[in-house]
């Protein structure tokens, strides 16, 4: 089955599971909501006796380690392909190389001397560079989340998440990266050219224990930067929207972390919480304030929704799988945000009445 169809089915099933959480389906809806709970919504009575089928919330870092490996590999492949499309390297290839390319479904063979040159890739510049842009954006997001998990957050020893949610989290970033990587796979010529490039220019040299001949040493850095001028207006808008959500989510995460750490910098000034050094109060929660938290309870989730909207805009809004990815992010975060909002209002009598769960003045 085509990889894009598999991704579409996967995102569709994930969206259905989010819808179930909002429907009055009794036990089924409650089970679905329980799977998505984490952190303060799923606290263990004690570190020694955690609930069954749960794992520590600090295992979030596994999502970003795996996501970094997969996304970096895909980004490297498509970056080299985009470079080859823009600055082709003239090369002759062996009959074995030709055979491997034909097995992969791409390339053509000259009937003369049994060798051929790489086909002209210039027509695939735009889809290749647009894919590079989206995967580079995802790389920034995953690396930042990896940094936050390892250096910013201090997870409570009581904070847990369901094993099912953990498995979904492991799948999410590889699936998201593959969704961005395959955004132009409806173009069979693009797929054929990419497959041929991977087989001839990357795989075969590795089999022969040599470096791939994919870089043109005659190209200057200035010419390389000029190649980025081909990006369309909606891609620059998508990049701007992504950075808005990216920076705001980071800022909100720093605000949340400052509630647990003795001192953290939020981008404006430091916040000191001396009580966090008291082990008896290490699991204490406070009302987050500042930035988008003045309008919504889950400002960090709102930032994530905004940055994923940048992916939809960056692809021109024409790729169904990226829309489905965005829809699942919105549905998944909306459910958790609503429960978090109720938790805050229940726990704090002085919780601001004007705050909404996720969208200012709306939800």
Q: Are 291 and 46 contacting, i.e. CB atoms less than 8 angstroms apart?
A: no
221 vs 304: CA distance, rounded Å:
34
153 or 144: which leads in pLDDT? 144
pLDDT over 90 (residue 111): no
Q: What is the pLDDT of residues 156-168, one digit of tens each?
A: 888 899 999 999 9
SS3 content of the chain, % helix, strand, coil (to 5): 65, 5, 30
Mean pLDDT confidence for 32-53: 84
Q: What is the pLDDT of residues 224-269, one digit of tens each?
A: 555 556 678 899 999 999 999 999 999 999 998 888 664 434 343 3
pLDDT over 50 (residue 28): yes
Q: Which of 66, 67, 44, 65 is nearest to 55 (CA)?
A: 44
Residue 164 zone, left/alpha/beta (φ > 0; ψ -120 to 50; rest): alpha
Q: What is the pLDDT of residues 303-322, one digit of tens each?
A: 999 999 999 999 999 999 99
The predicted pLDDT at position 222 comes to 58
46 vs 43: CA distance, rounded Å:
8
Terminal-residue alpha carbon distance, the chain: 39
Q: What is the mean pLDDT of the chain?
A: 81
Cα 40 to Cα 44, 106, 156, 157, 301, distances in angstroms: 9, 52, 9, 11, 15
228 vs 277: CA distance, rounded Å:
49
Structure tokens at 273: 């919480």
Sheet with 38-43, strands from edge to edge, namely 38-43, 159-162, 54-56
Structure tokens at 133: 């842009």
136 vs 157: CA distance, rounded Å:
34
353 or 212: which leads in pLDDT? 353
């Amino acid at each position: 089955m085509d990889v894009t169809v598999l991704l579409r089915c996967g995102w569709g099933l994930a969206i259905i599971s989010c819808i179930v959480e909002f429907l009055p389906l009794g036990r089924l809806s409650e089970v679905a909501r329980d799977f998505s709970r984490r952190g303060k919504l799923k606290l263990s009575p004690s570190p020694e006796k955690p609930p069954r089928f749960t794992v520590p919330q600090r295992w979030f870092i596994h999502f970003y380690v795996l996501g970094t490996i997969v996304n970096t590999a895909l980004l490297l492949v498509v970056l080299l392909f985009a470079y080859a499309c823009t600055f082709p390297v003239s090369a002759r290839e062996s009959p074995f190389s030709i055979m491997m390319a034909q097995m992969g479904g791409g390339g053509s063979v000259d009937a003369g001397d049994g060798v051929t040159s790489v086909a002209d890739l210039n027509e695939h510049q735009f889809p290749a560079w647009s894919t590079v842009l989206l995967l580079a954006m995802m790389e920034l997001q995953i690396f930042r989340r990896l940094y936050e998990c390892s250096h910013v957050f201090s997870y409570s020893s009581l904070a847990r998440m369901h094993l099912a949610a953990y498995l979904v989290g492991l799948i999410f970033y590889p699936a998201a990266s593959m969704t961005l990587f395959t955004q132009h796979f409806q173009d069979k010529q693009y797929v054929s050219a990419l497959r041929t490039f991977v087989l001839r220019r990357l795989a075969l040299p590795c089999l022969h224990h040599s470096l791939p001949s994919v870089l043109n040493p005659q190209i200057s850095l200035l010419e390389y930067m000029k190649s980025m001028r081909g990006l369309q207006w909606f891609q620059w808008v998508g990049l701007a929207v992504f950075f808005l959500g990216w920076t705001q989510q980071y800022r909100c995460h720093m605000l949340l972390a400052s509630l647990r750490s003795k001192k953290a910098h939020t981008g404006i000034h430091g916040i000191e919480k001396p009580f966090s050094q008291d082990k008896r109060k290490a699991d204490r929660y406070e009302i987050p304030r500042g930035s988008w938290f003045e309008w919504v309870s889950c400002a960090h989730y709102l930032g994530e929704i905004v940055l994923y909207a940048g992916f939809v805009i960056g692809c021109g809004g024409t790729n169904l799988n990226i829309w489905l990815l965005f829809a699942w992010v919105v549905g998944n975060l909306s459910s958790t945000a609503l429960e978090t909002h109720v938790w805050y209002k229940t726990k704090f009598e002085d919780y601001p009445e004007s705050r909404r769960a996720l969208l200012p003045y709306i939800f």
